[in-house]
Amino acid sequence: MQRQAPWLLLALLAAACSSSGRAPESSAEAACARQADDDPVVHETLGKAAGNLDWQWQNEGRIRQAKQDAVTNCLRRRGLASKGGVERPR
């Protein structure tokens, strides 16, 4: 059992340090993500959800899509995201 303990500890440490599968955010992407809540469309969408958890739960996808669109538009304004391509499914 003592011989297995270092390998088990190493395996647990490796699992804890592994990435979640997502690429790390760049500083520009993180800045755009912070600015997403100030986008007018996101503001309007979140305003509809204010005080109404049922609406917020039912429209979770719409809120997430509005924030992602705001991040993408911010990155495009900075010249960091492609201007064309295939549109994300809605």
Residue 68 lies in a domain: yes
Q: What does each C-alpha distance from 44 to 47, 48, 69, 74 come to in angstroms?
A: 5, 6, 14, 18
Residue 39 lies in a domain: yes
Residue 1 lies in a domain: no
Average pLDDT, the chain: 75
Asked whether residue 12 carries a pLDDT value surpassing 60, the answer given is: no
Contact 75, 28 (CB under 8 A): yes
For 51-67, what is each residue's pLDDT tens digit?
A: 788 887 888 898 899 99
Say how many domains are in the chain: 1
How much is the pTM?
0.58
Quick one: which H or E segment has residue 77? helix 60-77
81 exposure class (CB count in 10 Å sphere: 0-12, 13-18, 19+): middle
